[in-house]
A and B are shown apart, each in its own frame.
Chain A
Amino acid sequence: MAVDMNMKILIVDDYKTMLRILRNLLRQLNFANVDEASDGAEALQKLKQDKFGLVISDWNMEPMTGIQLLRAVRGDESLKHLPFVMITAESKSENVIAAKEAGVSNYIVKPFNVETLKTKLVSVLGDF
């Protein structure tokens, strides 16, 4: 099935600069319908109010972290199948294992390049 390039993507990061970088890189990959949240709590609120096709989230945020957001998404009947990619500087094995156990769709370590971003998105969404 072809990837819907108009799907709404939620990017979550407490660094405004990072949100801007992600938005620009996604636009270059032809995903232009992007919304932003600055932490897990705001993201969860947006996810419950609107229909999204993908979440790309940082880990280290307050008050709700990326892993807490992931668990909340997987625990919600209406959101549990939503593709969820973690993009974080947390590169320790225990982080990756915890994210996998919580149901992460894929995991990108910062700093990253657009090739890595594309490869991971293809593995989650299918070829585009």
Chain B
Amino acid sequence: MDTHDPEFQAMLEGIRERRGDSVSVTDIGDVVHSMLASLRGDISASDIELYTEIESLAKYIRAAKAEIASLRPDEVKDTHLRTASDELDAIVDATAGATNAIMDATEQIERVMEQVDVDQQAILMNATTGIYEACSFQDITGQRITKVVKALKHIEETVDGLLTAFGDEIAKYKESQPKEEKQAEAPIEDADLLQGPQLKGKGNTQEEIDALLASFD
């Protein structure tokens, strides 16, 4: 038998020289004792401490992964962040539309200014100038909102990183903790009716509302 261990090999050779191929129970006991002693020597107290640390670290990572998965970062990205960006874009569009409508009306006033006397012209001129100046708020709010959208994009990229790193965990969590589907028959609560202004195409037009109301008649 070749054990590749010189010390153990020497021990076997010694027994073979002394006893030939028949070995006493005492000799077997000596060999086993020697093996156990060498085995104990292989795993030191510091090794055991290290293994324990690694095991607790692994447990900690598993718990952290479960925590992150329970936050549902996929939902944060797909629902909340996207909605926030869309709402901000809608604000920019709405304020731009309103500003242009205000300026359309102001330009109309300017066009008829020549038809009034000089004193009234001066008053109207001051008023229209004030309106143009006030309209510049749209430029400022647009720039501020663009900054917020950029910040949201940065958060979205970070969430993307989480999704890549924890994709499997999130899928497992979703499988083990399915969200309660709202039952179609469940009564609508007051809180469900506080949705705020709807994005373009999401709510009803006035015509659709009129038709809906008429359907009750």
Contact = CB atoms under 8 A, between A and B. Distances in A.
Interface of A: 13, 15-18, 20-21, 24-25, 28, 60, 89, 110-114
A15 B132 contact: no
B133 A110 contact: no
Contact of B135 (A13, A17, A89): A17
A114 B136 CA distance: 11
Contact of B129 (A20, A89, A111, A114): A114
A110 B142 CA distance: 12
Interface of B: 96, 99-100, 103, 106-107, 110, 125, 128-129, 132-133, 135-140, 142-143
A20 B140 contact: no
By secondary structure, the B interface counts as helix
Given A20-B100, A24-B107, A28-B125, A114 B132 contact: yes
Given A25-B129, A28-B129, A18 B136 contact: yes
Contacts of B142: 15
A28 B133 CA distance: 12
Q: Top 8 closest A-B pairs, CB basis?
A: A18-B139, A111-B136, A113-B133, A15-B139, A24-B132, A114-B129, A17-B138, A17-B99
Contacts of A21: 103, 132-133, 135-136, 139
